Structure 1
Amino acid sequence: MKKEEIQALIEKQRLYYLSGETLDVQYRINALKTLKTAILKYEQEIEEALKKDLGKSYFESYMCEVGLSLSEISYMIKHTRSFSKEKRVRTPLAQYVSRSYTKPSPYGVTLIMSPWNYPFMLTIEPLADALAAGNTVILKPSAYSPNTTQIIKKIIDECFDEKYVALVSGGRAENTSLLEGKFDKIFFTGSVSVGKEVMRKASEHLTPVTLELGGKSPCIIDSSANIKLAAKRIVFGKFLNCGQTCVAPDYIYCEESIKDEFLKEVKQQIKKQYGEDPLKNSDYGKIINEKHFLRIVQLINSDKVVYGGNTNKNTLQIEPTVMDHVTWGDAVMQEEIFGPILPVLTYRNLDELIMLLQSKEHPLAFYVFSSKKETIKKLTTTCQFGGGCINDTIIHLANSQMGFGGVGASGMGSYHGKIGFETFSHRKSIVDKKTWLDLPMRYQPYTSLYERMVRFFLK
């Protein structure tokens, strides 16, 4: 799509938003119901597209993409009416007699830019939140997952007029043209480097942004943990979607005394979950493209590999790989891995580990495996991170009752459920002052009596 066409589309949506049609709550709910019906109708085509783009099995596609999207839409259908209501708040005595309340209001024309690793879910979930809040939406999926983009476009075109919801496909040229446009809200999921560029462009129009980024998410295991269960859940979270998950455990910090036991259990779990030869497992996916495949392969130090390490360039597959004796000087610790490599480091002193973790950029996710309440409390209180789990991995993002987002370098803002509704809304603060009484103390000429009254009310 040409730059002029993109700008015309933005203006078309702005005119439609100004018509006020999206302000009607039932209109929003009907839009969500229409979207849900279409997703159910095209479920098989969605899963086939995900198979082509990422090699995902149909089971994993439903569990991690289609099912989660349907769950978020269903939640918003159920709660949009209550989320949209005015909320009365207490009025200070100094403002007697009046009614104070907050009123949620949509931002207007919004841009949602989504990544390639969960291309369906990370497009549809923020779309559901934006529609529930009453916005118009332009979607810009990643160019790296073209098959999924194609089916999403088919769904959007069938469900909505482009003046309400539209999808712009393409690559950098389209991204640039979109970011030069004036939006009322931008929601971006992707890398830190691109997130910085989105924020720079948004600043030119003072457009508020929500950034869902990434980072190196640690997983801490102490000697009190259930090692067998920890290994099982870490292998699931790490190698799901071949490690191409923004909240995957990026690396392990294991208490030194239980490292050997942990590594033994991890190896067994990889075999149990993915088979003796994962590259021949039809349910094991692939790296999105050759560029990312080569980048991940370069992070593997064969001298430190204790399991896996095999690759297939023709199919863009990399085995679940475990590396031991890793240090912060290794290449694998210099960037977010975003692939099926699990580096294992060890620690002896928890306080020293906390100091080290706090010296790093704040991660999107944080995982603790322990049965010690004091250890769990200390880590989750002291360390800064977006969200996480205790004795599990990644499942925190599947709860519409909680916001999902990062902090610092891993992002700003969050979404899902009510928090997602608030993310795409501005909450107006309004005082409805009654006319039958007017307290005189705020008006000039000021007197000693009025001063005493002000001091009485404002203290």
Structure 2
Amino acid sequence: METVSVVPQPDVQQPRGSGAGKAAEDDGGGGKGSVDGEAMSGNPYAGLVSRLRATWLSGKTRPMEYRVAQLEALGRFLDEKKQDILEATALDMGKPPFEAEFSEILLCKNELNETFNNLSHWMKDEHVDKNLVTRLDSVFIRKDPYGVVLIIAPWNYPIHLLLVPLIGAIAAGNCVIIKPSETAKNTERLVAEMLSCYLDNDCFAVVTAGVQETTRLLENKFDYIFYTGSPSVGRIVMAAAAKHLTPVTLELGGKNPCYVSDTCDVQNVARRVAWGRFFNTGQTCVAPDYVLCSAEMQKKLLPALREAITDFYGPNPRESPNFGRIVGDKQFQRLLMLLRSGRVVIGGQTDEEEHYIAPTVLVDLQTSDPIMQEEIFGPILPIIIVANMDEAIDFINSHERPLVVYAFSSNDKVVNQVLERTSSGGFCGNDTLMHVTLTSLPFGGIGNSGLGMYHGKFTFDTFTHHRGCLHRGMGREALNALRYPPYSQQKLQIVRAASEVKRKGACTLL
């Protein structure tokens, strides 16, 4: 597996992961009429893309045995480099070993095993219904790989958010260029140096790049692009892909609301919300971004949150081995600015040298405050007062559609009302984060929070072109005569009877 290294450029300041920077500001070679990225003169990645495309066209990645072998190699990487992964993520953001092993290794292995268990079935042609006209034909959906795909991963879960889409891309039979985030420098180095020892260098390559180089990378023609990061950079990636009409999956972020009704177990809510907000030091795209509750519930929730934080991290979270750090100085400075919103009632302590921000809860906020205008992506939890569920739902619906909506209530009808009357990428009732751990559920955003989905079979489908196929024999030409000119009303009636789809169980609404 080839590693292409360039001099990293300064990272853009984005709440989520590495971005393509100002890719949209440079038209580059891709906007000057070139049909393929390989044809562009002077692009430093054109040769790499061309070489991987040649390999893909050779058919090397198509056999199931080859795909399984590469996936098994990924499994060995996770097993043999487990300690290296734990150390790299600890150096990058102080990630506790428990959180790193759970999110970066276990969930990746779950994806691998789900794929091993089902790949032969996923790859098979899918035979579909036929009408009378095509009764003697073979009609099926062929599961084709796209070709050469690009995966751009973020820094907050630098192994998980790189390997999970990679698993699906390999399973679907593609060649892949991987671009890990330069922000998580130690993990980037680990991936660049070690992954090449496990995967086939003819089919897979790691590109280590900063903003300017990623811009040039995006000028090339890919057959699919999978990007995880911020909405602002997602627009840049989508604009670059549009020049080649390249399909994309955009896994973005947003402000995930968490409604807490007046009827609930306050202690349980506090523990589940605190875990979801402060896991990975709040640097999680599906973390509850803010709480919506009544003034009465806030009075009950605050002491319960304080107790939960103390139970999790002790009286001084700075000394806790279970609480990490902010990934870099730019991200830390951005969070310091957001801390000026509202009033701190829990936490608020910071240490610039360590990039430490204590688990913090804010109250007395205005919707115009900076912290309510962007995804927080840190260990800060604002609480917004609403009169009731209806007002909470109106508040949610007045903003961009989030990656996930959370709702807590002992009354299932309340949870279902929030589910039915809001729109989001995903939904989780009476817990946080746990929906993301299931390979059986699609994960993805909607609107501002993303485009497309993955996890389990959904990842395989994302990187697969579902090719509609009909195979007809060369004989029985007399059966085709009805569709040929000269046309007649009698021919039309016969063709209609043989090919129309009829509605089943029609009923009349009164």
Q: Tell me how many residue pairs correspond in the alignment.
A: 459
Deviates further, 198-207 or 439-448: 439-448
Give yes or no for the alignment of 1:446 onto 2:465: no
After TM superposition, list the pairs within 5 Å mapping 1:250-265 onto structure 2. 250-265=289-304
Q: Is residue 9–residue 163 contact of structure 1 (8 Å, CA) maintained in 2?
A: no
- Cα offsets for 1:232-252 (capped at 9, x unmatched): 010000001111000000000
Q: Letter of the 1:205 partner, please give it.
A: H
In the TM superposition, residue 302 of structure 1 has moved relative to its aligned partner by 7.2
Give yes or no for the alignment of 1:246 onto 2:246: no
Q: Letter of the 2:232 partner, please give it.
A: S
Q: Is residue 406–residue 429 contact of structure 2 (8 Å, CA) maintained in 1?
A: yes
Give the one of 4, 7, 17 matched to 2:46.
7
What SS does the corresponding residue of 1:315 show, helix, strand or coil?
coil
Aligned partners of 1:455, 1:66: CA distance in 2, in Å?
56
- Aligned partner of 2:246 in structure 1 is 207
Q: Letter of the 1:350 partner, please give it.
A: M
Give yes or no for the alignment of 1:25 onto 2:34: no
Aligned partners of 1:155, 1:361: CA distance in 2, in Å?
40
In the TM superposition, residue 402 of structure 1 has moved relative to its aligned partner by 1.2
- Cα offsets for 1:206-246 (capped at 9, x unmatched): 00000000000000110122211111010000001111000
- Cα offsets for 1:273-328 (capped at 9, x unmatched): 01111111122111011111011011113761111000000100000000112220
What SS does the corresponding residue of 2:292 show, helix, strand or coil?
strand
Give yes or no for the alignment of 1:143 onto 2:182: yes
What SS does the corresponding residue of 2:61 show, helix, strand or coil?
helix
Q: Letter of the 2:394 partner, please give it.
A: M
Aligned partners of 2:496, 2:191: CA distance in 1, in Å?
60
Give the one of 339, 343, 354 matched to 1:300.
339
Aligned partners of 1:128, 1:303: CA distance in 2, in Å?
43
Q: Letter of the 1:221 partner, please give it.
A: V
Q: Is residue 252–residue 448 contact of structure 2 (8 Å, CA) maintained in 1?
A: yes
Give yes or no for the alignment of 1:350 onto 2:389: yes
Unaligned runs of 5+ in 1: none
- Aligned partner of 1:119 in structure 2 is 158
Q: Letter of the 1:451 partner, please give it.
A: L
Give the one of 473, 478, 496 matched to 1:455.
496
What SS does the corresponding residue of 1:137 show, helix, strand or coil?
strand
Aligned partners of 1:227, 1:440: CA distance in 2, in Å?
73
Give yes or no for the alignment of 1:361 onto 2:400: yes
Aligned partners of 2:192, 2:78: CA distance in 1, in Å?
12
TM-score (norm 2): 0.88
- Aligned partner of 1:316 in structure 2 is 355
Q: Is residue 341–residue 371 contact of structure 2 (8 Å, CA) maintained in 1?
A: no
Give the one of 454, 457, 471 matched to 1:432.
471
Aligned partners of 1:291, 1:123: CA distance in 2, in Å?
23
What SS does the corresponding residue of 1:210 show, helix, strand or coil?
strand
- Aligned partner of 2:507 in structure 1 is none
Aligned partners of 2:65, 2:400: CA distance in 1, in Å?
43
Q: Letter of the 1:85 partner, please give it.
A: K
Q: Letter of the 1:429 partner, please give it.
A: G
Aligned partners of 1:302, 1:375: CA distance in 2, in Å?
30
Deviates further, 103-112 or 273-282: 273-282
In the TM superposition, residue 99 of structure 1 has moved relative to its aligned partner by 2.3
Aligned partners of 1:452, 1:92: CA distance in 2, in Å?
15
After TM superposition, list the pairs within 5 Å mapping 1:6-85 onto structure 2. 6-85=45-124
- Aligned partner of 2:144 in structure 1 is 105
Give the one of 216, 225, 231 matched to 1:177.
216
In the TM superposition, residue 171 of structure 1 has moved relative to its aligned partner by 0.5
Give the one of 420, 425, 446 matched to 1:381.
420
Q: Is residue 156–residue 165 contact of structure 1 (8 Å, CA) maintained in 2?
A: no
Aligned partners of 1:4, 1:293: CA distance in 2, in Å?
35
In the TM superposition, residue 88 of structure 1 has moved relative to its aligned partner by 0.6
Aligned partners of 1:302, 1:456: CA distance in 2, in Å?
68
Q: Is residue 86–residue 103 contact of structure 1 (8 Å, CA) maintained in 2?
A: yes
What SS does the corresponding residue of 1:403 show, helix, strand or coil?
coil
Q: Is residue 388–residue 394 contact of structure 1 (8 Å, CA) maintained in 2?
A: no
Q: Is residue 185–residue 209 contact of structure 1 (8 Å, CA) maintained in 2?
A: yes
Aligned partners of 2:452, 2:378: CA distance in 1, in Å?
25
- Aligned partner of 1:326 in structure 2 is 365
Aligned partners of 1:205, 1:455: CA distance in 2, in Å?
40
Aligned partners of 1:105, 1:375: CA distance in 2, in Å?
44
Aligned partners of 1:191, 1:435: CA distance in 2, in Å?
53
- Aligned partner of 2:274 in structure 1 is 235
In the TM superposition, residue 5 of structure 1 has moved relative to its aligned partner by 4.0
- Aligned partner of 1:165 in structure 2 is 204
Aligned partners of 2:395, 2:453: CA distance in 1, in Å?
26
Superposition RMSD in Å: 1.4
Unaligned runs of 5+ in 2: 7-41, 503-510
More helix by share: 1
Give yes or no for the alignment of 1:420 onto 2:464: no
- Aligned partner of 1:222 in structure 2 is 261
In the TM superposition, residue 4 of structure 1 has moved relative to its aligned partner by 4.2
Give the one of 118, 128, 131 matched to 1:89.
128
In the TM superposition, residue 181 of structure 1 has moved relative to its aligned partner by 0.7
In the TM superposition, residue 436 of structure 1 has moved relative to its aligned partner by 4.0
- Aligned partner of 1:406 in structure 2 is 445
In the TM superposition, residue 456 of structure 1 has moved relative to its aligned partner by 2.2
CA 270–109 in structure 1, closer or farther in 2 if over 3 Å, else same: same
- Aligned partner of 2:330 in structure 1 is 291
Aligned partners of 1:272, 1:291: CA distance in 2, in Å?
30
Deviates further, 250-259 or 262-271: 250-259
- Cα offsets for 1:100-128 (capped at 9, x unmatched): 11111000100000000111111111111
- Cα offsets for 1:327-360 (capped at 9, x unmatched): 2022210111001110001212322322221121
Q: Is residue 406–residue 414 contact of structure 1 (8 Å, CA) maintained in 2?
A: yes
Aligned partners of 1:216, 1:303: CA distance in 2, in Å?
17
Aligned partners of 2:345, 2:224: CA distance in 1, in Å?
47
Aligned partners of 2:93, 2:116: CA distance in 1, in Å?
30
Aligned partners of 2:320, 2:108: CA distance in 1, in Å?
26
Aligned partners of 1:18, 1:39: CA distance in 2, in Å?
29
Q: Is residue 116–residue 142 contact of structure 1 (8 Å, CA) maintained in 2?
A: yes
Deviates further, 195-204 or 380-389: 380-389
What SS does the corresponding residue of 1:368 show, helix, strand or coil?
strand
